[in-house]
Amino acid sequence: MGKNIIPQARGKGGPRYTAPSFNYAGDTSLRPTQQLTQHQTGQIGGQINGQIMDLVHSAGHSAPLMKVQYSDGVSSLLPAPEGVKVGDKVFAGEGAEQTPGSILSLKEIPEGSQVYNVELRPGDGGVFCKTSGTTAKILSKTAEGVMILLPSKKTKILHENCRACIGIIAGSGRKEKPFAKAGNMYFAKKARNKLYPRSSACKMNAVDHPFGNKRSARKAKQRPVSRHAPPGRKVGKLAARRTGRK
């Protein structure tokens, strides 16, 4: 009788496959949407002022984070854009100044601007472009919504009330430095509780994986798996339409 394979154990969950989020700095979503009146903010048009109090490192995020304290008493943790420092002013709300790190709706941001932490739906806190060095570009505004260009070169039309941060996330050179040795990779993976090193399936024993045995590696034989196969057998090419060269 075989054993549960790694994807089965990951799907069940457990301490070995759970991210140590208690070691992370916190959530990096945009502050909740709310109607900011002039009486609340002291500014015309619902703008609220904020100040960067600190720049922090988080093991669970690839980009540096900034702690922002707003004038209404709300504090927020956001990915830091390039060029900001402790003490800089950032803004949020309707009619806010367009400085790096400020939060505005897409309808207020000019075409051609670089944005990050973009919402998919108004009020969801930000979904797109949250890793180091990433940014989206506002292409055009139509009756359907605002079209943005994602880092994948795909375009997407979003609601005009979706919010985003101005600028490019810092840390774009993170991938340029090589790990150089396995020990560095080990500690990088350990910070997020990732499996490292990974054993190839064909190097395992027969009880540990469907591909594991010492008879042959079966590299030349394509073996598609049924869409209705049980979890322990669903490895390799899953319900492939075709195999081999085109």
Question: Is residue 2 in some structural domain?
Answer: no
pLDDT of residue 244: 80
Question: Is residue 8 in some structural domain?
Answer: no
Question: Is residue 222 in some structural domain?
Answer: yes
Say yes or no: 192 and 156 in one domain.
no
3-state SS record for the chain: CCCCCHHHHHHHCCHHHCCCHHHCCCCCCCCCCCCCCHHHHCCCCCCEEEEEEEEECCCCCCCCEEEEEECCCCEEEEECECCCCCCCEEEECCCCCCCCCCEEEHHHCCCCCEEECECCCCCCCCCECCCCCCCEEEEEECCCCEEEECCCCCEEEECCCCEEEECCECCCCHHHCCCCCHHHHHHHHHHCCCCCCCCCHHHCCCCCCCCCCCCCCCCCCCCCECCCCCHHHCCCCECCCCCCCC
- pTM score, whole prediction: 0.83
pLDDT of residue 219: 58
Say yes or no: 220 and 116 in one domain.
no
- Which range marks the domain in which residue 206 is found? 175-233
Say yes or no: 170 and 195 in one domain.
no
Which CATH number goes with the domain that contains 200?
4.10.950.10
Say yes or no: 193 and 95 in one domain.
no
pLDDT of residue 73: 87
Question: Is residue 208 in some structural domain?
Answer: yes
**pLDDT tens for each residue of 107-149:** 999 999 999 999 999 999 999 999 999 999 999 999 999 999 9
Residue ranges of the chain with per-residue pLDDT less than 50:
35-39, 41, 43-44
Say yes or no: 17 and 84 in one domain.
yes
Say yes or no: 46 and 165 in one domain.
yes
Domain boundary among 131, 147, 174: 174
Say yes or no: 39 and 98 in one domain.
yes
Question: Is residue 4 in some structural domain?
Answer: no
Question: How many domains does the structure of the chain reveal?
Answer: 2
Say yes or no: 71 and 188 in one domain.
no
Say yes or no: 103 and 224 in one domain.
no
pLDDT of residue 6: 93
